[in-house]
Structure formats: C-alpha cells, structure tokens
Amino acid sequence: MKRDSRLSSVLHALLHMAEQDGPVTSDILAQCLGTNPVVVRRTMGYLRDAGIVGSDRGHAGGWRIHADLGSVTLRQLHEALGEPAMFAIGNRNEMPECLVEQSVNAALEGAFEEAESLLLKRFSEITLADLAADFARRHAAERSRRS
C-alpha cells in the first residue's frame, strides 16, 4: 500500500516558502519536492481553502504563507489535507461473521484508535515555527561544519 506523503510534502514546501521574502511559484516548489507543479497546486489549494496560504496571480505571482508560523500546527495541516489515513495497516474484513476475525478486529481497532489519538495530540503540539527553528539550527550547524 502506498503511503500518503502529502503532510510531509506540505511541510517541506512551507519551510521553503518561509525562507523566501516573496511568493514562490508552483514550479519552484515542484522542483524542491521532486514532483509536478499540478500536484503542488492541487495540494496547496487545500491550504489556501484553510486560510494558511494564499496565491498571487501573474508574472510575479506564486504561493505565500498567510498564517503565523507559530499558530499553524501539524494537526491543522493534517485536517486541511482532508485527514488522510494515519496508518497503512488495517483490519481484515473478509469474513465479518467469523468470531475470531471479530475478536482480532476489536483488539486492533482499539489499538489503532489509541495510537491515532496520541499522534493527533502530538501533531497539535508541533507548529511550523518549531520546524522552522529546527531547520535553522540544522542549517547553521551544517554551515559551521563546512567552514
């Protein structure tokens, strides 16, 4: 099963955008992400609908972050993307009348719900500002290592 990497891609794009003074085109973001500009526009459209980014049309246009980095959490971004499934594993439902399958599914479902709740709670605690600060630290360390 293919994993949904939109949240990771959006975070990557937003951190690149945060480093720029002006708008960033879908073409530039696509190069950063190794994807197609159409994919970038579609994905960024979800964030625009949530009020996190805006877009400027025309020759000098592109995407801009409209929200304060300290106020945008990973959970908000996850929700803006339509709350994709958190896990690539799930219950078997081939024989719903089977009591063994029912027992297994009940145990797994409870564990999945607990894990998702914990993950979403953690997502609520991490902001774009936190990620930007971590990037800045890593970038500074890399620059000093190269000097």
pLDDT tens figures, 6-35: 999 999 999 999 999 999 999 999 999 999
56's CB contacts (< 8 A; 6+ apart) are: 23, 62, 64
pLDDT digits (tens, 9 = 90+) for 87-142: 888 888 899 999 999 999 999 999 999 999 999 999 999 999 999 999 999 999 99
- The residue ranges of every structural domain in the chain are 6-146
pLDDT digits (tens, 9 = 90+) for 43-67: 999 999 999 999 998 888 999 999 9
The CATH code of the domain at 6-146 is: 1.10.10.10
Give the integer Cα–Cα distance in Å for 110 and 113: 5
Residue 1, pLDDT > 70, answer no
Give the integer Cα–Cα distance in Å for 77 and 123: 9
